[in-house]
Structure 1
Amino acid sequence: MVMMPQRIQPALLLSTLAVDAAFASTSPILAVPSQAWASLNASVSGRLHIAAPAGLPCFTSYENAWGLEANVPNAEQCQKAEAGLTSSIDIIQAFGSYHNPTFSTCMARGERCTLSANGPKGIVNGTCFQGTVPDYYVDAREVQDIQRSLEFAQQYKLPITIKNTGHDYKGRSAGVDTFAIWTHNIAPELKIDEEFTPEGCPGPVGPVVTYGAGQIDTYLYDSLNGTGYLTVAGSCPTVGPSGGWIAGGGHSIFAPVYGLGVDNAIQMRVVLPNGTFVTANRCQNQDLFFALRGGGGGTFGVVTETTAALHKDQEITYVFLQMPVPEVPRTINEIFVANAEKWADEGWGGLYAVSGNVTNSTARFLGFNTKLSVEEARASLKPVTDYLESFTSSNETLISQFKTLSSQWAAQNDPVLLGFLLPEAGVSLTRSSRLVPRSNFHGEEAQKQLVDFLMSQNFRWSVVLGTPTKYILPESDRPGGPGEASVTPAWRDALWHFTIVQSWDPADPVATSPEALSRTFSTISTQIDPLRAITPDGGAYQNEADVYEPDPIGSFWGAQNYARLLKIKKQLDPDNLLSCWNCVGWNPEDERHGCYLKVRGIGP
């Protein structure tokens, strides 16, 4: 028998939750005695909680691991939940809230607890389903909280989910019937050290910044503003630079010149699956350092702290171009492709895109450059500006901004950049992507293949200029060196990170049906197959990749890196308690992945 807990104050429920030892359930969570949970709660200073989806206050019934019961909705809390649906800062404050809400639902069964930013508001006369929101979580505030949690999971063989901000496009920070460790609140004041010596290393490596696992981009940039330094991190304000961003590689608008996030990592502190707290850098625990920098999040341990390189802050040349193109956009696509290599070699970061349809498309270019002056930028981009200006007499409005920004802070807080990113918060979407090698831009035939592919994409694509095109990898970080990272080698030769996106209303019962979602994921996955076919030496950025990527090993890591990663994984976590979708050593038929769909033969 299960005594169902009340839903008002989950933090206070543990003393009242009683699970009959004879309860028949396949969930390892429910097999743990209530006294054990109480003991764990005491060992983590009362930071163990029962988790609930963020939309629960708006529903009249609730089904989770303990069964189905009536729920007393709360109009005030419901209104608050609805108000924060598309606020990135609000989303990350609640454990049961996810940037991409569909990945907190059970897609395979059409069970959800999602709200709509555009649909009807107020109380829903229906059931809130737990979906993939973990059943229990520890709100970790210090290393000991993580150690006790992992030791507990080892004792009871509990599948573990690690969540930081929940800013993930593949649902890797959620999992059915899992026990979660939430690192969002491990966010002490960041520290700058101008002559930092990594632990175990013979001497200083220069200026660095150290921040906790729960630190977010916006605070990082605010804190560095005025210090004379910049650092490589993400562009979305609530991405955790010490979390999944760096674990997946970490691209940036400054990566073309300063390298990926993994290249800028100097040292990382992590709690291993057995509870041991260690430091990894280029001088010690190099295998772990290799794995943490590109091996994927939620797999090798729980990172508590990252130390990253600092660079001299400087003025940045900024360009924004936007204009409707009053013709079939083949010519603008040809210009983008023909100039891709030149622009990469000149250090441009940012993005460009064409969207719309065959009779009404819009071209956009957003660029940041630390190497070129404004005048040099005008000369660099003259092929595209000349083309766009040729239409100004036809009453088409051209936005053309060339200016100097004072610092990295000004660049990362650019309204246009944020305008591209912030609308994704709280919206259900899926991506498919490809890293396109330099060789695919060489010669007329290769360029024509790319343009033909772009013309087949319904004019809804974007190219992120976040590959390390001008960054020279030091000898220490090349294959076989102590600082080698585990990202796919395709990053080192790619000019484009090409992406397509499909979005839908997370509360639409039609769009979120298993049949509709299967079609959506299948369509966007197969849509990029022609690009995969012409880029055999390419890869994919695992953080923004196709959920049903047909070749995750080859695309995310490469066979050689993956073999090394899998060996490390088996040594650190032989029971595979830390796992997630598409992660190293994962089993797609694992029960924690039971709410994913089966698409392209991939899935439970």
Structure 2
Amino acid sequence: MAYTSLANIPADKWMALNTSVGGRLHADGVPFSRPCFTSYELNFSNETKCTARQRDYLSEAYRVDTFGSAMNPQWETCQATSQGCLMDWMNPANSDAFASPKICHQGSVSRYYIDVLSPSDVAAAFDFARVTGARIVIKNTGHDYKGRSYAPDSLSLWTHNLQQISYDPTFVPAQCTDTAMTPGLTVGAGVVFGKIYDYAEQNGITFVGGTDRTVGASGGWVQGGGHSLLSNTLGLGVDRALEFKIVTPNGDFLTVNACQNQDLFFALRGGGGGTFGVVMETTFRVEPRPISLRVAKITFPTTSDNWKAVIDIGVKNALKWSEEAWSGIMGSGMVLFTNPNLSLDEASASFQPFADFASSVNGTLVIEDSPTWLTFFNKYITGNPILSQPVGLPGTPASRLVPKRHFENTASQAALKDAILSGTLPAQFKQVLISCPVNYVPPTGATPEASDTSITEAWRSCLWSVVAGTFWNYATDAAGVQASYAKSTEAIRPLKELTPDGGAYSNEANVYEGDHTREFWGSNYPRLLSIKQKYDPEGLLDCWHCGT
């Protein structure tokens, strides 16, 4: 689709759109750091707001409520020209980043956006785009490693204020009259994990979600797959989605589940966010009780030798640990595992290889019970600088799903360790995410439509997702940014070459992932493409690596 510059759309069209969405069309979308710049394309600096921006530049809790913010702020810039509006993340008060003659450019932040509160808002936006040729993007929290929520000269649909949440212990998807009742939690598109976890704790239930409080459950997380530290036994986000409410590009407001609009139900469970329509709410299957966890954690000095040791221990024990239902994160300076099945004594015995390693390098060890997911999350995840996703830093990850067979014998283990270490040792950021659904079994009586998801088949055979990444700063020029992307590509290249039977998690994948349709969706891609053509034949929704 050929897009029209928003500046060329007549004022009466904008006025009509604003009326149709109840006055919630905004024309003041600006980059997060704009208040600190004295030179801007439209407005001027604001000292009070600048102080707040500097104070909370690295705060996801602050950024999540700001429309013009991206958690990784290079996506606020124009990728083609590198024109943006960034501050120094190492020292946000550094005036060299924003003092004159530095100019704050609009970049990829949408100047026009709709504060979406109803399906009719979305339908009006699609009609507007169809008539005027305006480009549409969808934004919620700003968590987006691939920049799919941003585009220069675009109209943004901001779903952040869809904050409804409710629990039905006897939920039945609409028109699924023969389906057993299931405990279901329904959340609006703007509801983030932190709010869900607090609500679940208050209601004595467990929600299977991610490790960042400000990620939205209904957006790219579930629509891209959605892994969790509970996924080993309880499945991915796509396995737990029971129903979606979505506005498609033709303006229809549809209920989507295993009994109606089954093609969209398949597509929304793994086909990628921002592609098939705007999801207004999602209902997830929840566990109707608190789930207690055995938690095992070590910390250790961050050295190359220690990272090699962690990978060695992890690879040697991966099969055993996955069968025992361990999930976890192995990072620079910390390993954190959780287990819902083993007793504390069994967990201690199982985790002994890492306990011995920690002792040998003067590290620390904790093994204990945690009565609920939220108790664990608040103690071990919230505010943890090693495990939390970096915020306020321009940066790019690359990742690889590693199939089980690469852990099965001494020779394959040695090759795997070499591939991981040769790529990740030089990387600025590295993690191993142990969150594949190894022991997940669909609910008894689940129909093929209920179990059929569109993620790559590699998710069903993997044990690990290895992630590596690179960061840069405000003064990095276009060539330097390109070099950083190349470093992330190189960090995962040895592992990708070793695992042609693997794949990649679309939400954490290389921006320049080669053959991305195969890596993200495997044999599901042709079916996804036909669904895309059915529901969005005009291509009103288009973004990077979104399947088209």
SS of match in other structure, 1:383: helix
For 1:338-386, what per-residue CA distance to the aligned partner results, in whole angstroms no more than 9, with x for missing partners? 1011111111122113x4xxxxxx4x31011111111111111122223
The aligned amino acid for 1:575 is E
1:449 & 1:290 partners in 2: Cα distance? 36
2:412 & 2:382 partners in 1: Cα distance? 31
Indicate the residue corresponding to 1:171 in structure 2.
147
The aligned amino acid for 1:112 is G
Q: How does 1:8-407 map to 2 (within 5 A)?
A: 27-50=4-27, 51-63=29-41, 71-119=43-91, 120-121=93-94, 124-125=99-100, 126-188=102-164, 190-202=165-177, 203-311=179-287, 312-324=289-301, 328-329=305-306, 330-353=308-331, 355=332, 362=333, 364-389=334-359, 391=360, 396-407=361-372
Q: CA contact under 8 A between 1:236 and 1:421: conserved in structure 2?
A: no
- 1:288–1:404 Cα change, 3 Å: same
Q: Which runs of 5+ in 1 are unaligned?
A: 1-24, 64-68, 356-361, 586-604
Q: TM-score, normalised by structure 1?
A: 0.85
2:377 is aligned, of 407, 412, 417, to: 412
Tell me the matched-pair count: 535
2:438 is aligned, of 445, 448, 469, to: 469
2:245 & 2:251 partners in 1: Cα distance? 12
SS of match in other structure, 1:413: helix
Q: CA contact under 8 A between 2:126 and 2:540: conserved in structure 1?
A: no
Confirm whether residue 573 of structure 1 aligns to residue 536 of structure 2: yes
The aligned amino acid for 2:379 is D
2:11 & 2:305 partners in 1: Cα distance? 65
1:459 positional shift? 6.2
2:173 & 2:140 partners in 1: Cα distance? 25
- 1:424–1:519 Cα change, 3 Å: same
Q: CA contact under 8 A between 2:232 and 2:438: conserved in structure 1?
A: yes
1:166 positional shift? 1.0
Q: TM-score, normalised by structure 2?
A: 0.94
- 1:553–1:437 Cα change, 3 Å: same
The aligned amino acid for 1:472 is V
SS of match in other structure, 1:524: helix
The aligned amino acid for 1:199 is A
1:526 & 1:273 partners in 2: Cα distance? 38
The aligned amino acid for 1:454 is I
For 1:240-268, what per-residue CA distance to the aligned partner results, in whole angstroms no more than 9, with x for missing partners? 00111101100111111100000000000
Q: CA contact under 8 A between 2:266 and 2:449: conserved in structure 1?
A: no
For 1:496-527, what per-residue CA distance to the aligned partner results, in whole angstroms no more than 9, with x for missing partners? 0111121222x2x1x2x110011110121122
SS of match in other structure, 1:548: coil
Confirm whether residue 520 of structure 1 aligns to residue 484 of structure 2: yes
Indicate the residue corresponding to 1:450 in structure 2.
416
Q: CA contact under 8 A between 2:82 and 2:478: conserved in structure 1?
A: yes
For 1:51-71, what per-residue CA distance to the aligned partner results, in whole angstroms no more than 9, with x for missing partners? 2112222222223xxxxx5x4
- 1:326–1:268 Cα change, 3 Å: closer
2:262 & 2:304 partners in 1: Cα distance? 54
- 1:485–1:326 Cα change, 3 Å: closer
SS of match in other structure, 2:282: strand
1:163 & 1:247 partners in 2: Cα distance? 14
Question: More displaced, 197-206 or 298-307?
Answer: 197-206
For 1:2-47, what per-residue CA distance to the aligned partner results, in whole angstroms no more than 9, with x for missing partners? xxxxxxxxxxxxxxxxxxxxxxx97432232111101110111111
1:416 & 1:209 partners in 2: Cα distance? 23
Question: More displaced, 261-270 or 405-414?
Answer: 405-414
Indicate the residue corresponding to 2:402 in structure 1.
436
1:450 & 1:476 partners in 2: Cα distance? 38
1:335 positional shift? 1.7
The aligned amino acid for 1:174 is Y
1:546 & 1:139 partners in 2: Cα distance? 30
SS of match in other structure, 2:485: helix
Q: CA contact under 8 A between 2:4 and 2:134: conserved in structure 1?
A: no
For 1:528-587, what per-residue CA distance to the aligned partner results, in whole angstroms no more than 9, with x for missing partners? 1111111111001110111111121111001x31101110101111121111111111xx
Question: More displaced, 494-503 or 525-534?
Answer: 525-534
1:112 positional shift? 1.0
SS of match in other structure, 2:524: helix
2:39 & 2:342 partners in 1: Cα distance? 59
1:426 positional shift? 1.6
Q: CA contact under 8 A between 2:469 and 2:491: conserved in structure 1?
A: no
SS of match in other structure, 1:160: strand
2:525 & 2:233 partners in 1: Cα distance? 27
1:325 positional shift? 8.0
Question: More displaced, 519-528 or 540-549?
Answer: 519-528
Which has the larger helix fraction?
A: 2
Q: CA contact under 8 A between 2:211 and 2:381: conserved in structure 1?
A: no
Give the root-mean-square deviation of aligned CA atoms. 2.0
1:148 & 1:539 partners in 2: Cα distance? 38
- 1:201–1:423 Cα change, 3 Å: closer
1:249 & 1:503 partners in 2: Cα distance? 25
Indicate the residue corresponding to 1:490 in structure 2.
458
1:135 positional shift? 3.0
For 1:145-195, what per-residue CA distance to the aligned partner results, in whole angstroms no more than 9, with x for missing partners? 12211221122232210001010111110011211100000112x111111
Q: CA contact under 8 A between 1:198 and 1:204: conserved in structure 2?
A: no
- 1:326–1:277 Cα change, 3 Å: closer
Percent identical pairs in the alignment equals 38
The aligned amino acid for 1:182 is W
SS of match in other structure, 1:46: coil
Question: More displaced, 412-421 or 463-472?
Answer: 412-421
1:412 positional shift? 2.0
- 1:365–1:469 Cα change, 3 Å: same
Question: More displaced, 132-141 or 489-498?
Answer: 132-141
1:517 & 1:233 partners in 2: Cα distance? 32
2:303 & 2:67 partners in 1: Cα distance? 47
**Considering only CA atoms, is the larger Rg found in Structure 1 or Structure 2?**
1
2:444 & 2:290 partners in 1: Cα distance? 25
- 1:423–1:116 Cα change, 3 Å: farther
- 1:327–1:299 Cα change, 3 Å: closer
Q: CA contact under 8 A between 1:256 and 1:466: conserved in structure 2?
A: yes
1:292 positional shift? 0.8
For 1:309-352, what per-residue CA distance to the aligned partner results, in whole angstroms no more than 9, with x for missing partners? 11121221111112238884444432210101111111112211
